[in-house]
Amino acid sequence: MNAAGFALLALMIGAYVLLDGYDLGVAAIAPLTTRTPAERAAAMSAIGPFWNGNEVWLIAAGGALFALFPKAYASAFSGFYLPFVAVLWLLMFRGLALELRNHFKNELWHTFWDSAFFASSAALIVLFGVALGNLLRGVPLDRRGYFSGTFAFLLNPYAVGVGIFALFALAQHGLTFLTLRVDGPPARRARRVQSIVWWFVLLAYLLVTVATFVLRAGSVHHAAWLAFLPLPSLLALGAVRFFAARGEERGAFVASAAFLASLLLAAAGTMFPYLLPAYPARAGGLSIYDAAPSPSALATTLTVTIVGLCAVVAYTIFTAGRMAGKIRAPE
Amino acid sequence: MGTAVIADRLQFAFTIMFHYLFPIGTMGLAPFIAWFNIKAYRGRDPEAASAARFWTKVFAVNFAAGVVTGIPMEFQFGMNWAPFAARSGAVIGQPLVMEGVYAFFLESIFLGVLLYGRRQVSERIYVLSSVLVCLGSWLSGFFIVATDAWMQHPVGYAVAAGGRIELRSLAAVLLSPFAWWQYAHVLTGALVAGGFIVAGVGSYYLLAHRDESFGRRFVRAGTMVAFVFSAIAIFPTGDLNGADVTRYQPVKLAAMEGLFASQRGAPLAILGMPDTARETLIDPVFVPDALSFLAYGNVAANVKGLSSYARTLWPPVALTYYAYHVMVGLGTIFVSLAALALLWLLRRKLFGARWLLWMLMLAMPFPYVANEAGWVTTEVGRQPWIAYGLMKTADAASQNVAAGETIFTLIGFAGMYFAIGVLFLLLTLREIGAGPAEAPL
């Protein structure tokens, strides 16, 4: 039951990364794909109807962590208090930028909020990446399971590397989405930028994967299948290039999503059964069995959440299907 | 109580009170949007369609501010109240995750359709979307109130080894009568606000001699909603919410009423200032026996006063007392004003009665005050408990977050929320200024 809870949580975070990932990516890379305010407006309206629903996955995953693993929720958010407040403020700033931009027809107003939007999106991606990097590497925990390290500890080269990798990977994800949703100059530029970014993704992927293997080699014994995961990851990454080169936008977007999904699977597999692995790795960490609710409470939460999410997926697909269609950016 | 706990409480109070300003608007306005959309669809009524679009734009500004200020709420339990979150997460995390999964998704995704999809979806789906947005915002309110109601009156739980609070019955948590009456009262409060906002904006158009056809429509609809729900806010929802407080939280009741000494035939204090040092009300205006009657339906019933309880179990008396009296006082004014406006509407004189339109327009901010005052009563009155009878607030604050950190982030939130507040007012006033006549979406 605890493992099922872990799987559900990983699934919800995965959905968040795949969905909000593309709108974060579209924004972070927008300085390279758009030149005029009208083009930026087209890029924004490509994500306008969806970003809020995508972000709800983060809120829902936060709630699920709270209900399923209260101890980990309490330890993580109080332990990383200040970095977490930074994430909250960036999320708020980003939401404001997207909502406020179109209320005035004034070029300076647009430029200000567009820049705020791009910068906060890029910063969020890097921060999420750094957070994931630290989860993979482990963090110092005291006896009660609370973070006992320093801020500087979190900014280690490995975690920062994962942050930069996240920026490339989600930029690519955003680019594939942009070519799918928008026509005209931004899409043409996106294709060009994407064929370059792809190489950065590949390079960063290889470096991070090797570093992760070195870092966790001694502590992940339970899952030999992890060693084979780079195969589907590389296949998916190859497929991104293959479809993008042939102008099959939908294929490229799906391949990029598959690439991200395989990465998250690898991350979840590396962490399991810990929610907050300790550093150094032999110290264990806060696992899914630590102070978890009773099996019946977990079962209730799982059932209620899964039933609700099925409905969410159904109406997300239904509305997204009706709201699809290309947005034309002016030539 | 240490500085850290005070800082944590201040931050939570500030962020949630500011956040709550926006759900009042979304819960209160959503039914008007659905109503105007249904009218437009069924009656081929283009003016109703414009009205729906206009309120959708006002709603969207509210929703955006509500979302950005709501994000921190989901995580503050873990950030500032880690021991409470770790102990009770299995219970209170449950309605919170349901809020995300069953309500917030619904509201967000279908608002996307309302704002961006008017040309892409059929008219029927468009109307349905506005109903679903309304449903989403109301459900959202329910799950949040259910979370709070559990903290007010814990049910459906068991205390496991190590003090951990286990979920025994989700049904008991969600079907708790305490939650239902509190929710009914909260939703009613939002609808009173919605009614006064719609009537107030309509009054503005009539007073300014512009968009007068819309103005009449808004004043008519708003006045009716404001009257019906300000009456329901007093009876039955307020009354029965009060009955739950009487039964489960008698100390809070005594603080709300400023009743220090237990007595038979307790009087109801309409005015007066509580003096906790001398345990008396200064300059009181009493209605004899009325408190006994309201609490127990019997003029001779004994009502326990604060002095029957240890001082360590008292909530902050003055704040609870004043907040409660502000809410009740305003509620009485709302029902009188709405009744007057309704009477003038039935006499077909309202649209020309400028003095009354002025009053309706100026009434707009006060339902917000009343809603917030009600929450202050219920939450401050819950002290010193974070979960009534189970865990003290003083034991619930994060040990590993320093007071300085919280004060620093509180100042940050204050700055950010000031900017959000200014932008919210600016954008809302701009939408109202642009008017409903040709509101493109």
Sequence-distant contacts of A206-211: CB under 8 A, at least 24 apart: A207/A161, A207/A165, A208/A161, A208/A162, A208/A165, A209/A233, A211/A158, A211/A161
Nearest CB partner across the interface for B93, out of A70, A76, A96: A70
Residue B351's pLDDT is 94
* B386: enclosing H helix or E strand: strand B385-387
Tokens 């700055």 sit on residue: B415
Cβ distance of B400 and A309 shorter than 8 Å: no
Tokens 């332990």 sit on residue: A79
Nearest CB partner across the interface for A322, out of B100, B101, B117: B117
Nearest CB partner across the interface for B97, out of A67, A81, A312: A67
Render pLDDT for B368-395 as a digit per residue (tens, 0 to 9): 999 999 999 999 999 999 999 999 999 9
Cβ distance of B64 and A92 shorter than 8 Å: no
* DSSP H helix total and E strand total for chain B: 15, 8
Shortest distance, CA A131 to any CA of chain B (angstroms): 16
Question: What is the rounded end-to-end Cα distance, in angstroms, of chain A?
Answer: 55
Cβ distance of B416 and A89 shorter than 8 Å: yes
Cis upstream peptide for B316 (omega within 30°): no
Structure tokens given for B434: 């642009």
- Enumerate residues 89 to 128 of chain A having a beta carbon within 8 A of any beta carbon in chain B: 89, 91-92, 95-96, 99-100, 103
Residue B35's pLDDT is 96
Give the range among A11-20, A97-106, A115-124, B15-24 with minimum mean pLDDT: A97-106
Residue A104's pLDDT is 81
B429: pLDDT strictly greater than 70: yes
Instruction: Report the relative pairing of strands A182-183 and A327-328 from DSSP bridges.
Output: parallel
- Among A186, A110, A312, A315, smallest CA distance to B117 is for A315
Q: How confident is the model at residue A185 (pLDDT cuts 50, 70, 90)?
A: confident
Identity of the amino acid at B428? T
Q: What are the C-alpha distances in Å from B161 to residues A294, B164, B222, B387, B398?
A: 11, 6, 53, 18, 21
Render pLDDT for A89-126 as a digit per residue (tens, 0 to 9): 999 989 888 888 888 888 888 889 889 999 999 999 99
Give the phi and the psi of residue A143 in degrees, each rounded to 5: -60, -30
Which residues of chain B make contact with A315, given a CB cutoff of 8 A? 106, 109-110
Residue A223's pLDDT is 66
Sign of the dihedral defined by the CA atoms of residues B281, B315, B379, A77, in that order: positive
Give the phi and the psi of residue B44 in degrees, each rounded to 5: 45, 55
Which residues of chain B make contact with A322, given a CB cutoff of 8 A? 113, 117, 120-121, 125
Mutate to test the interface with A, among B74, B81, B97, B110 (most CBs of A within 10 A): B97
Cβ distance of A77 and B75 shorter than 8 Å: yes
Identity of the amino acid at B225? V
d(CA B434, CA B58): 11
Side-chain-side CA neighbours of B80 within 13 Å: the count stands at 28
Q: Are A19 and A57 a contacting pair, CB within 8 Å?
A: yes
Nearest CB partner across the interface for A85, out of B113, B115, B409: B409
Q: What are the C-alpha distances in Å from B259 to residues A35, B271, B307, B329, B330?
A: 68, 12, 9, 18, 21
Q: Which residues contact B288 (CB under 8 A, 6 or more apart)?
A: B265, B267
Shortest distance, CA A60 to any CA of chain B (angstroms): 5
Helix orientation angle between B354-363 and B317-346, rounded to the nearest 10 degrees: 150
d(CA B144, CA B74): 10
The mean pLDDT value for A160-179 works out to 93
A293 touches chain B (CB under 8 A): yes
- Higher per-residue pLDDT: B13 or B160: B13
Residue A2's pLDDT is 86
Instruction: Report the relative pairing of strands B391-392 and B385-387 from DSSP bridges.
Output: antiparallel
Q: Which residue of A has its CA nearest to B157?
A: A297
Nearest CB partner across the interface for B401, out of A78, A91, A103: A78
Render pLDDT for B308-324 as a digit per residue (tens, 0 to 9): 999 999 999 999 999 99
Cβ distance of B400 and A78 shorter than 8 Å: yes
B118: pLDDT strictly greater than 90: no
Structure tokens given for B182: 């509190």
- Higher per-residue pLDDT: B9 or A247: B9
Q: B77-93 in b/e burial notation, b at 16+ Cβ within 10 A?
A: bbbbbbbbbbbbbbbbb
A227: pLDDT strictly greater than 80: no
Cβ distance of B112 and A48 shorter than 8 Å: yes
B441: pLDDT strictly greater than 60: no
- Higher per-residue pLDDT: B348 or A38: B348
* B264: enclosing H helix or E strand: strand B263-264
Q: How confident is the model at residue A152 (pLDDT cuts 50, 70, 90)?
A: confident
Q: Which residue of B has its CA nearest to A63?
A: B97
A310 touches chain B (CB under 8 A): no
Q: How confident is the model at residue B119 (pLDDT cuts 50, 70, 90)?
A: confident
Domain ranges of chain B: 3-262+304-434
Residues in a beta bridge with A212: none
Percent of chain A with pLDDT over 90: 36
What DSSP string describes B136-174?
HHHHHHHHHHHHHHHHHS--SEEE-GGGPEEE--HHHHH
The three state secondary structure string of chain A is: CHHHHHHHHHHHHHHHHHHHHHHHHHHHHHHHHCCCHHHHHHHHHHHCCCHHHHHHHHHHHHHHHHHHCHHHHHHHHHHCHHHHHHHHHHHHHHHHHHHHHHHCCCHHHHHHHHHHHHHHHHHHHHHHHHHHHHHHHCECECCCCCECCCHHHHCCHHHHHHHHHHHHHHHHHHHHHHHHHEECHHHHHHHHHHHHHHHHHHHHHHHHHHHHHHHHCCCCCCCHHHHHCHHHHHHHHHHHHHHHHCCCHHHHHHHHHHHHHHHHHHHHHHHCCEEEEECCHHHCEEECCCCCCCHHHHHHHHHHHHHHHHHHHHHHHHHHHHHCCCEECCC
Residues in a beta bridge with A139: A278
B440: pLDDT strictly greater than 70: no
Q: How confident is the model at residue A282 (pLDDT cuts 50, 70, 90)?
A: low
A297 touches chain B (CB under 8 A): yes
Q: Are B436 and B54 a contacting pair, CB within 8 Å?
A: yes
- Among A291, A307, A41, smallest CA distance to A145 is for A291
d(CA B235, CA A325): 51
ipTM for the complex shown: 0.89
The mean pLDDT value for A237-266 works out to 90
Residue B2's pLDDT is 79
Instruction: Report the relative pairing of strands B165-167 and B157-159 from DSSP bridges.
Output: antiparallel
Residue A165's pLDDT is 94
Average pLDDT, chain B: 93
B166: pLDDT strictly greater than 80: yes
Q: How confident is the model at residue A219 (pLDDT cuts 50, 70, 90)?
A: low
d(CA A196, CA B245): 65
Cβ distance of B94 and A304 shorter than 8 Å: yes
Cβ distance of A45 and B116 shorter than 8 Å: yes
SS3 B266: coil
Tokens 């009656």 sit on residue: B43
d(CA B224, CA B373): 24
Residue A222's pLDDT is 64
Q: Which of A17-31, A125-139, B69-83, B208-222 has the highest mean pLDDT?
A: B208-222
Q: Are B88 and A71 a contacting pair, CB within 8 Å?
A: no
Nearest CB partner across the interface for A81, out of B79, B90, B412: B79
Mutate to test the interface with A, among B19, B68, B430 (most CBs of A within 10 A): B68
Give the range among A62-76, A289-303, B45-59 with minimum mean pLDDT: A289-303
A178: pLDDT strictly greater than 80: yes
Taking residue A214's Cβ as centre, other Cβ atoms within 10 Å add up to 10
Q: Are B83 and B112 a contacting pair, CB within 8 Å?
A: no
- Higher per-residue pLDDT: B441 or A58: A58
Q: How confident is the model at residue A213 (pLDDT cuts 50, 70, 90)?
A: confident
A221: pLDDT strictly greater than 70: no
B84: pLDDT strictly greater than 70: yes
- Enumerate residues 165 to 224 of chain A having a beta carbon within 8 A of any beta carbon in chain B: none
Mutate to test the interface with A, among B11, B76, B79 (most CBs of A within 10 A): B79
Which residues of chain B make contact with A75, given a CB cutoff of 8 A? 82, 86
Which residues of chain A make contact with B150, given a CB cutoff of 8 A? none
Shortest distance, CA B132 to any CA of chain A (angstroms): 11
Structure tokens given for A87: 């994430």
Average pLDDT, chain A: 87
